[in-house]
Chains A and B, each alone.
Chain A
Amino acid sequence: MTPLLTVGNLSVTYPTRTGVVEAVRGISFELGRERLGIVGESGSGKSQTGRAIMGLTPPPGIVRADALSFSGVDLLKAGASTWRDMRGSRMAMILQDPKFSLNPVLTIGRQITETLRHHENVSKREARRRALDMLEAVQIADPERVFGLYPHEVSGGMGQRAMIAMMLVCGPELLIADEPTSALDVTVQLEVLGILDRLVRDNGMGLIFISHDLRLVSSFCDRVLVMYAGRIVEELATADLSKATHPYTRGLLDCTPKIGESRHPLPVLERRKEWAA
């Protein structure tokens, strides 16, 4: 079986006044119809990896790779119109904060139907019906009302559900979720993850879940890539998380305080130059 996504020796660089910044430095992985977590601290290149796969690296960033293909399409050779057709319909991305990533001057309903009307030849009425169905699928109690609301009129959890609805309405094969629940309360976080979990499972999508929280990722994904300074330092099945060998992974696991543990002071993450080499 050919993988859904193949990433070979991907690098993302940004030329700056003080020299070239290497955000991602030669990472390779394959993704099937599974849940893959990418974990690392800020600046580890995890979000840049997600953006590069979606073709959303902002200029003047440069993406290089030996291979970057998504279900048979060579993304390295993709032109603007190929990208437009892919994004939103075959691959989609959920961003961190609904306050900043929804369009503030369009209603939620309009933003969902826009995706549908762009990618599929559907009537207005059909688009509306499917948008309402999708809002219902993300467990919004009153879809008719939320359909007509503007992003500032809904809570963070509601906004994030609306974004999930927007991204999944065309039934993409690959979903990239970049810190999808970091801006939400813990209890809302669980609900949103539950919805995401169910939809990904039912639709048989591939999921890339990007987060700085290794515990959260490992409770949600099948496999985890740990990134440090633009490289993958360790790859693990989540079942083997307790057997992680790399000191950086161990550090990420140990540094969060947990209920019922007394560790004063908390172990602090070591960062060694040679891990980045």
Chain B
Amino acid sequence: MTIRIENLSVTFDGFQALKSVSIAVGKGESFGLVGESGSGKSTLLRAVAGLAPVSGGTIEVSGERLSGGRRSRAFRRAVQMVFQDPYASLHPRQTVDRQLLEPLAIHRIGDGERRILKALDEVGLGPSFRFRYPHQLSGGQRQRVAIARALIVEPEILLLDEPTSALDASVQAEVLNLLEEVRGRHGLTYVMVSHDLGVVTHMCGRLAVMKGGEVVETLSAADLAGSRVVSDYTRRLMVASKGFSREAVSG
């Protein structure tokens, strides 16, 4: 499945969140979107999922032209999203089992019992987690449930919106490893939003740097690692991601 976005604009009540953005993601690729809050990186992801008011341009997924917020049932199954905050994206009064059953029911997929156990096993949670509520899980375990919920319908594309930024650095490593492992096993295409350059270069082959609703620069992770960047903004992000230093602040 390929994603091709051309001249996409998104407008919220007169505010242009995306200004004519174009990106292309190949099948099986892992593509990163980096930027600060308000740069439009999450909006871009949500526009693909049909969750943002598109005001111009085109989105094509596997040659299928998408219009407005309407998506086919096949698309809704093939494209799944994982959100930033696992504390907010799971239903607080439903057990893990119930939350994993929901997508199966929506897509009329049978064999729930086996699929739920398989999905839990896949994300490294044993069957003992099946009948727990979200408040009985840690942040990392919750994000694993959110990933299991996305994987259970056997998607081809995962849209990851800051999947680890609400987690501790140590738990982040575990979730990133899980995401990589899953991608390798199922040949998934990832589009991953993050504000952390280190995370994006670790996970993605190519990335787009966004600022103020526009793509500043599209480059490969290897170019970024080798500091072969064109824009000043990307360079500033790189300095910032190295951590605090007195020189960086004064300079």
User: Which residues of A are interface residues toward B (Cβ below 8 A)?
Assistant: 41-42, 155-156, 185-191, 193-194, 197, 212-216, 219-220, 251-252, 255-261, 263-269
Are B169 and A213 neighbours in the complex by a CB distance under 8 Å? yes
Are B169 and A187 neighbours in the complex by a CB distance under 8 Å? no
Cα A213 to Cα B243 with chains together (Å): 10
CB distance from B166 to the nearest CB of A (A): 10
Chain B residues contacting A216 (CB-CB under 8 Å) are 243-244
Within 8 A of A (CB), among B164-183: 168-174, 176-177, 180-181
Which of A41, A186, A189, A219 has the most CB atoms of chain B within a 10 A radius of its CB?
A186
- Chain B, interface SS category: helix
List 7 A-B pairs, minimum CB-CB distance, nearest first: A194-B249, A257-B202, A260-B225, A255-B173, A265-B177, A185-B36, A219-B243
Which of A155, A259, A264, A266 has the most CB atoms of chain B within a 10 A radius of its CB?
A259
CB distance from A41 to the nearest CB of B (A): 5
**Could you say which of B170, B197, B245 contacts A269, with CB atoms under 8 Å apart?**
B170
Are B180 and A186 neighbours in the complex by a CB distance under 8 Å? no
Cα A220 to Cα B249 with chains together (Å): 12
Are A190 and B197 neighbours in the complex by a CB distance under 8 Å? no
Cα A145 to Cα B248 with chains together (Å): 29
Q: Which residue of A lies closest to B140 (CB)?
A: A42
Cα A205 to Cα B216 with chains together (Å): 41
**12 pairs across A/B with beta carbons < 8 Å?**
A156-B37, A187-B240, A190-B249, A194-B249, A197-B244, A197-B246, A255-B173, A257-B198, A259-B198, A259-B242, A264-B202, A265-B177
Q: Which residue of B lies closest to A248 (CB)?
A: B170
Cα A263 to Cα B180 with chains together (Å): 12
Answer yes or no: B29 CB below 8 A from chain A CBs.
Answer: no
Cα A191 to Cα B236 with chains together (Å): 12
CB distance from A214 to the nearest CB of B (A): 7
Are B37 and A259 neighbours in the complex by a CB distance under 8 Å? no
Chain B residues contacting A264 (CB-CB under 8 Å) are 180, 202
Cα A42 to Cα B141 with chains together (Å): 13
**Could you say which of B173, B201, B203 contacts A268, with CB atoms under 8 Å apart?**
B173
Answer yes or no: B237 CB below 8 A from chain A CBs.
Answer: yes
Are A268 and B240 neighbours in the complex by a CB distance under 8 Å? no
Are A266 and B245 neighbours in the complex by a CB distance under 8 Å? no
Number of B residues whose C-beta is below 8 Å from A?
40
With A215-B243, A259-B225, A268-B177 known to touch, is A41 a contact of B168 (CB < 8 Å)?
Answer: yes
With A197-B246, A259-B201 known to touch, is A186 a contact of B36 (CB < 8 Å)?
Answer: yes
Interface string of B219-251 (1 = CB under 8 A from A): 000001110000000001111111111101110
Query: Given A252-B169, A263-B202, 19 other A-B contacts at CB below 8 A?
Result: A186-B240, A187-B36, A187-B240, A190-B244, A194-B249, A194-B250, A197-B249, A212-B170, A214-B169, A219-B245, A220-B244, A252-B170, A255-B172, A257-B176, A259-B224, A259-B241, A260-B225, A264-B180, A269-B170
Cα A226 to Cα B139 with chains together (Å): 21
Chain B residues contacting A155 (CB-CB under 8 Å) are 37
Cα A186 to Cα B236 with chains together (Å): 10
Are B197 and A259 neighbours in the complex by a CB distance under 8 Å? yes
Q: Which residue of A lies closest to B236 (CB)?
A: A187
Cα A266 to Cα B202 with chains together (Å): 9
Chain B residues contacting A259 (CB-CB under 8 Å) are 197-198, 201, 224-225, 238, 241-242
Are B168 and A189 neighbours in the complex by a CB distance under 8 Å? no
Cα A167 to Cα B172 with chains together (Å): 31
Cα A186 to Cα B249 with chains together (Å): 12
Which of B36, B237, B244, B250 has the most CB atoms of chain A within a 10 A radius of its CB?
B244
CB distance from B7 to the nearest CB of A (A): 27
CB distance from B68 to the nearest CB of A (A): 31
Which of A155, A256, A268 has the most CB atoms of chain B within a 10 A radius of its CB?
A256
